[in-house]
């Protein structure tokens, strides 16, 4: 299949492009480069030895999406990864988050359906689950449109839109993938997460402390009702996550389907830090801080439905993720920004 990856030059996008190419598919990357650099697309070609053409533009602009079909068609499927995703920022900029995260979906659906695509795969999030009593979350667990932040709400709204669009387009396979916490990097060290500024998420922050660009790790909360008092999350290696997208495309059933993509194995903040210290080879400076507003004590999934229907499950561990992230960080101390491919 030829697959249009909206947001394809980003962290999840580049890893998904590599997995698709290695599975024998073709890719077209569409990205506005607001959260990444064009060199990331060149790295996908370097890893796979296959073309990963990049169209720079806004996926919310139908003329830009049309140009992808005009230049690189026919396109069989769209994987929609183009979204703003910072939970904290979304509480301060709700209009930007709702318009970007929904307008991109509307444009991609209108143009894709107009060109007769067979599959639409949507990047959603485990933060749409709203009742901790449901843990471990299954796809039938309680979700809500009224969540704590515009990012998660925009993702749940997208899911509502997609369910209705799937209902009136029975020839279109719509697959919603609810990610838990993506971590790690490709083992080559050529692609990885490259957050701008000071990272909000745990693994990139720990990595910046390890490489010396930040002073110490702040552990947000040590009084949660968890085994070691720190927050529990379902950290999924980005290579496993990427392979979940290939499985979703290749094994999708007709109609509308939802899958959790996670390990099902909760890991605490201190356990992740200890694993990263193993990768680095020494202890890292850390301090206990008060809880971060909006954080939950625990979130993790039951990934068995993806196993049963897609034949997919994670195979990489938190140690693999820390080792690969550290390799990416040391190979690219300043991320993609200062790299100009020779």
Chain centroid to Cα 212, Å, comes to 26
Instruction: Tell me if 251 sits within 8 A of 311, measured CB to CB.
Output: yes
Q: According to the binding rule CB under 6 A, does residue 229 interact with ligand WQD?
A: no
Q: According to the binding rule CB under 6 A, does residue 85 interact with ligand WQD?
A: yes
Residue 289: strand pairing partners = 220
Per-residue DSSP letters for 166-228? HHH-TTSEEEEEEE-EEE---TTSSS----SSS-SSHHHHHHHHHHTSSS-EEEE-S-SSSTT
User: Site for ligand WQD (CB under 6 A): which residue of 48, 148, 200, 304?
Assistant: 200
Catalytic pick among 97, 129, 151, 235: 151
From the CB of 71, what's the least distance to ligand WQD, in Å?
A: 30
Encoding tokens for residue 298?
């625990």
Q: According to the binding rule CB under 6 A, does residue 219 interact with ligand WQD?
A: yes
* Residue environment code for 241-261, b if the CB has 16+ CB neighbours within 10 A, otherwise e: bbbbbbbbbbebeeebbbbbb
Q: According to the binding rule CB under 6 A, does residue 205 interact with ligand WQD?
A: yes
Q: Is residue 151 annotated as a catalytic residue, yes or no?
A: yes
From the CB of 168, what's the least distance to ligand WQD, in Å?
A: 28
Q: Which is nearer to ligand WQD, 198 or 334 (CB)?
A: 198
Residue 7 per-residue DSSP state: T
From the CB of 241, what's the least distance to ligand WQD, in Å?
A: 11
Q: What is the distance between the alpha carbons of residues 319 and 328, in angstroms, rounded to a whole number?
A: 14
Tell me which residues in 31-70 interact with ligand WQD (CB under 6 A).
Answer: none
Q: What is the distance between the alpha carbons of residues 105 and 21, in angstroms, rounded to a whole number?
A: 24
User: Site for ligand WQD (CB under 6 A): which residue of 48, 67, 201, 226?
Assistant: 201
Q: According to the binding rule CB under 6 A, does residue 259 interact with ligand WQD?
A: no
Tell me which residues in 165-184 interact with ligand WQD (CB under 6 A).
Answer: 179, 181
Residues that bind ligand WQD (CB under 6 A): 85, 87, 125, 127, 151, 179, 181, 200-202, 205, 218-221, 231, 233, 269, 292, 295
Q: What residues act catalytically?
A: 151
């Amino acid at each position: 299949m030829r697959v249009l990856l909206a947001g394809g030059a980003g962290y999840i996008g580049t890893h998904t492009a590599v997995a698709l190419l290695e599975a024998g598919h073709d890719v077209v990357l569409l990205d506005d480069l607001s959260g990444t650099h064009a060199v990331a697309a060149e790295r996908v070609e370097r890893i796979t030895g296959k073309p990963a053409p990049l169209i720079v533009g806004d996926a919310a602009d139908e003329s830009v999406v049309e140009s992808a079909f005009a230049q690189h068609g026919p396109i069989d499927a769209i994987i929609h990864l183009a979204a703003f995703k910072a939970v904290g920022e979304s509480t301060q900029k709700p209009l930007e988050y709702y318009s970007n995260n929904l307008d991109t979906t509307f444009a991609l659906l209108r143009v894709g359906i107009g060109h007769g695509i067979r599959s639409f795969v949507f990047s959603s999030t485990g933060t749409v689950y709203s009742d901790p009593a449901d843990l471990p979350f299954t796809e039938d667990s309680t979700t809500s449109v009224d969540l704590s932040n515009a990012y998660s709400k925009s993702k749940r709204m997208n899911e509502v839109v997609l369910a209705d669009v799937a209902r009136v387009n029975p020839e279109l396979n719509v697959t919603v993938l609810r990610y838990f916490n993506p971590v790690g990097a490709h083992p080559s060290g050529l692609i990885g997460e490259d957050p701008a500024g000071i990272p909000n998420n745990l693994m990139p922050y720990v990595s910046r402390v390890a490489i010396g660009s930040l002073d110490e790790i702040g552990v947000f909360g040590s009084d949660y009702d968890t085994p070691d008092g720190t927050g529990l999350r379902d950290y999924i290696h980005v290579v496993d996550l990427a392979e979940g997208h290939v499985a979703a495309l290749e094994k999708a059933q007709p109609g509308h389907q939802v899958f959790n993509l996670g390990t099902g194995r909760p890991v605490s903040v201190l356990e992740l830090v200890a694993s990263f210290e193993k990768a680095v080879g020494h202890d890292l400076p850390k301090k206990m801080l008060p809880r971060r507003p909006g954080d939950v004590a625990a979130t993790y999934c039951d990934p068995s439905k993806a196993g049963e229907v897609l034949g997919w499950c994670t195979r990489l561990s938190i140690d693999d993720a820390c080792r690969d992230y550290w390799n990416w960080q040391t190979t690219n101390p300043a991320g993609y920004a200062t790299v100009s491919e020779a």
